[in-house]
Amino acid sequence: MLALLPLAGAVVTADALHAQTEAARFLVEEKHADSVFTFKDKQATLREEIAALRLDAFPPAGHDDR
């Protein structure tokens, strides 16, 4: 269904069911869109892989842990 939509520059959100490598690749490489996926803690190495991205160095706008 996303293949038919003009998504260049759009932000596509999806729940954990759709958080698949191929879906992310399609959105970024073919549709030139950004994506936001939620994840569940069911994949054995996913938490470590996300931690390795060092996202704490790039907090969301307005995020303040003070």
Enumerate the domain spans of the chain: 11-57
> Of the candidates 44, 40, 46, 47, which has an alpha carbon nearest to the alpha carbon of residue 18?
40
| % the chain with pLDDT above 90 | 30
Model pTM score = 0.64
Rounded Cα distance, 50 and 2, in Å: 26
Q: Where are the alpha helices (DSSP H) in 17-61?
A: 21-25, 46-52
Q: How many whole angstroms from its chain centre is CA 58?
A: 14
Query: Mean pLDDT across the chain, nearest whole number?
Result: 82
